[in-house]
Amino acid sequence: MAKSRKNTIVLSILFFGPLLFYLFLLTGTNNFAKLPVLTPEVRDVTDFERKEGVLLQDHISILCFLGSDLLQHKTNALNLNEKIYKHFYGFKGFQFVVVLPLGSEEAARQLKKELGATYNVDKWYFVFGDQSQVKDMFASLQTGYALDEHSYSPYAFIIDRGLNLRGRNDEEAREEGLMYGYNAESVATVHQEMVDDVKVVMAEYRLALKKNKREI
């Protein structure tokens, strides 16, 4: 009797397992509609001083503007490091890119050292440009947000592999100010909204890879 029950359970798993997985994929695919392209063709960082040839193109990037007084806003970076980076840094093609004014190089080194106290931060990149370059880069996002006098914004942005700004455009997002970016000063915003949206972009990319492999 016990052996018969065990066989029944195994057969049930074999039968229903693929069906449940397929339904999960369908659910995930439907969720992608909640994270549309809000701004296409965002500028890349080719004109900035950068190490290791970092680019936004062909990467899933978290883009930040921490300003010339970035150590005053290191809480933003710490929030993102804890809630986003540590969960996704192992994903191929994932990175953080921080756009800063020239003259912020030493502060950036200090911040990266602090971020690296607990995690491998090889995928945190800092790029540097003059004030007009930083302003033009931010303007290419077409968010309606503004940089302050130190070239700082509290918002972090999700840029996909095709240089598209991804975010939310539902009514709830509009009310909370999360349509284009995620307020990194708020742990709740990063943890509750941004984590989910990064997962969606990651899952979308993985499904696209599987589809391309099937079609080859």
Res 19: pLDDT: 42
What percent of the chain is predicted at pLDDT more than 90? 67
The stretch 29-53 carries a mean pLDDT of: 81
What DSSP letter does each residue of 166-197 carry, written as one string?
Answer: E---SHHHHHHT-SS-EETT-HHHIIIIIHHH
Type and span of the H or E element at 151: none
Architecture (CATH level 2) of domain 37-215: 3-Layer(aba) Sandwich (3.40)
The domain limits of the chain are 2-32, 37-215
Q: Which has more confidence, 202 or 172?
A: 202
Cβ distance 128 to 95 under 8 Å?
A: no
Task: State the pLDDT at residue 153.
Answer: 97
Report the predicted TM-score, pTM, of the whole model to 2 decimal places: 0.81
Instruction: Examine the pLDDT at 67 and tell me if it is beyond 90.
Output: yes
Residue whose C-alpha is closest to residue 153's, from 53, 28, 69: 69
Checking if the pLDDT of 84 tops 90, the result is yes
